[in-house]
Amino acid sequence: MRVCEICNAKKEDRIIAGMSICNNCFTRLQGLRNGNEDDLLFFRDPINVSKFSHNAKEYIDEVATDIEKSHRTAEEIIIERKRMQEDEMEKQEYARSLIGLYEYAVETILNEDHGCVDAKRMTELINKRAREGWKLHTVYSNELGKNALKVLGLVENSTACEDVLVFERKLMDK
């Protein structure tokens, strides 16, 4: 059995332009033709190219060069992505220097039948979290629809809601 001339997998699912290729690489090749940037980067990655057969190298270079003429070149995409990543790192650093780092946790309390808030359970939960350094950040109530009631095994014509509590805790700055 022949191997895929693009990724060297031991699969020959189809023949494209005289090359045997696997379905995975065929999907990627279609992506390349449609101008998908991740697929272009895949076919321009030197590590991947080193696995291509001679035929595949020529064929893919031709397709990729065509696409790069009408879209962006792999090099331009890499530069742009690196710039965006650096931008994002800068924003994160700035935000951290101003407000510090926090983590969040979500808890839900189900209120069956009566549909009113279970104040005792909620108080216990908030206090338990507070002892662990969490602060209540947001709380809202979510009236459950028929499907949710079914999933929870509750009677469909009962009213139930869940309280959603979002807790916040300050992290040590690194």
Among 7, 109, 149, 166, binds Zn ion (CB under 5 A): 7
Q: What is the DSSP letter of 159?
A: -
**Residue 30 and residue 64 in contact, taking contact as beta carbons nearer than 8 Å:** no
Binding status of residue 22 toward Zn ion by CB under 5 A = yes
144 near Zn ion, rule: CB under 5 A: no
Q: Which residue has the tokens 């990724």?
A: 7
Binding of Zn ion by 149 (CB under 5 A):
no
CA atoms of 25 and 21, how far apart (whole Å)? 6
Interacting span for Zn ion (CB under 5 A) from 6-14, 44-52, 98-106, 117-125: 6-14
Question: By CB under 5 A, is residue 60 in contact with Zn ion?
Answer: no
Minimum distance of Zn ion from residue 8's CB (angstroms): 7
Q: Which amino acid is at 137?
A: H
Report, in angstroms and rounded to the nearest whole number, the Rg of the chain calculated over CA atoms.
Answer: 27
Q: Which residues bind Zn ion (CB under 5 A)?
A: 4, 6-7, 9, 22, 25
